[in-house]
């Protein structure tokens, strides 16, 4: 039987060993194209204060949750062309199942999806994501910058995954035996594009509602917003739309057999307004 003081000592030695392993990644992974910005061992429950790290622009959309497990965090700058680069964040959990998970971006964001990365930690994935080549949520960084646009389109995911695979090999001593990508909307579109251009990179891709036909989606948004939020007195106000929403639910919620506030097939909902 181990005494509590002995257990605490073993735990401290284990964490110290992991901190050394994590720190040594900086020497092993660097190359002409990959610059290691920082490595950091994060014990279970610790919180990343990215604002104090000066990274609030890159990570502003979604604050980091408390770390669900102990992990080695690596931040890389990966050169993708003569005029573009991506910031990559990789989390390597203490208890790995030998698999890698890539997490995509959202909309025009250059923001690392911390909550999805934390989800990867729960499942024992080494998890990687990037800023897609630019910081913040604006698309202005993409204007007249085709290399940056390419990074946001697909190359950021590809290169972050390549770097992530190298990190896994160095940190755990063996290659990732499976690699997956997960994303919603833009993140899904990125995964599909990578599958077209580099089909061997992933073993599987979870593409939520993929924003693949992005130009049409943006045009559709413009048309719909013009129709419903034009500001003319003859248009419905937000309060009016709330009434429409409630009425649609009351008339059509049960059409799909479930009273769950979801109308599964809106085409079957013919709103009776009189």
Asked if residue 145 binds Ca ion (CB under 5 A), the reply is no
Please say which residue, 242 or 260, places its beta carbon nearer to Ca ion: 260
Please report how close the Cβ of residue 250 comes to Ca ion at its closest, in angstroms.
11
Please report how close the Cβ of residue 259 comes to Ca ion at its closest, in angstroms.
6
Binding mask 170-199 for Ca ion (x = CB under 5 A): ------------------------------
Backbone angles phi and psi of 179, in degrees to 5: -135, 135
- As a whole number of angstroms, the distance between CA 143 and CA 74 comes to 30
- As a whole number of angstroms, the distance between CA 59 and CA 177 comes to 29
Number of Cβ within 10 Å of residue 101's Cβ equals 27
Please say which residue, 192 or 269, places its beta carbon nearer to Ca ion: 269
- The number of helix segments (H) and strand segments (E) in the chain equals 7, 7
Q: What is the bridge-based pairing of β-strands 125-130 and 204-210?
A: unpaired
Please say which residue, 215 or 257, places its beta carbon nearer to Ca ion: 257
Please report how close the Cβ of residue 261 comes to Ca ion at its closest, in angstroms.
7
Helical axes 156-172 vs 186-197, angle rounded to 10°: 80
Phi-psi map region of 124: left, alpha, beta (phi>0 left; psi -120 to 50 alpha): left
Scan residues 202-261 and list those touching Ca ion (CB under 5 A). Answer: 253, 256, 258, 260
Size of site (CB under 5 A) for Ca ion = 5
Please report how close the Cβ of residue 210 comes to Ca ion at its closest, in angstroms.
24
Please say which residue, 203 or 254, places its beta carbon nearer to Ca ion: 254
Task: Kindly list the residues in this chain that would bind Ca ion in the complex (CB under 5 A).
Answer: 253, 256, 258, 260, 262
């Amino acid at each position: 039987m181990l005494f509590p003081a002995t257990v605490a000592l073993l735990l401290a030695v284990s964490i110290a060993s992991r901190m050394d392993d994590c720190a040594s990644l900086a020497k092993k992974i660097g190359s002409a194209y990959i610059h290691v910005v920082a490595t950091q061992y994060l014990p279970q429950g610790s919180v990343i204060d990215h604002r104090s790290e000066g990274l609030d622009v890159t990570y502003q959309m979604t604050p980091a949750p408390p770390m669900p497990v102990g992990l080695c965090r690596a931040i890389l700058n990966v050169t993708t062309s003569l005029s573009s680069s991506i910031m990559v964040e990789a989390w390597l959990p203490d208890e790995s199942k030998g698999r890698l998970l890539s997490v995509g971006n959202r909309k025009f964001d250059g923001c690392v999806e911390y909550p999805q990365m934390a989800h990867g930690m729960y499942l024992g994935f080494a998890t990687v994501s990037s800023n897609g080549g630019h910081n913040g949520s604006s698309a202005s960084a993409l204007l007249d910058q085709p290399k940056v646009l390419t990074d946001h389109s697909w190359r950021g995911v590809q290169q972050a995954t390549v770097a992530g695979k190298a990190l896994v090999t160095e940190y755990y001593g063996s290659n990732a035996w499976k690699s997956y990508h997960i994303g919603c909307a833009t993140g899904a579109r990125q995964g599909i594009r990578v599958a077209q251009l580099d089909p061997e990179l992933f073993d599987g891709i979870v593409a939520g509602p993929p924003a693949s036909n992005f130009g049409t989606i943006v045009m559709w948004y413009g048309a719909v917003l013009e129709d419903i939020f034009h500001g003319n007195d003859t248009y419905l106000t937000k309060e009016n739309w709330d009434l429409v929403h409630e009425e649609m639910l009351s008339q059509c919620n049960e059409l799909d057999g479930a009273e769950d506030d979801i109308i599964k097939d809106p085409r079957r909902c013919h709103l009776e307004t009189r």
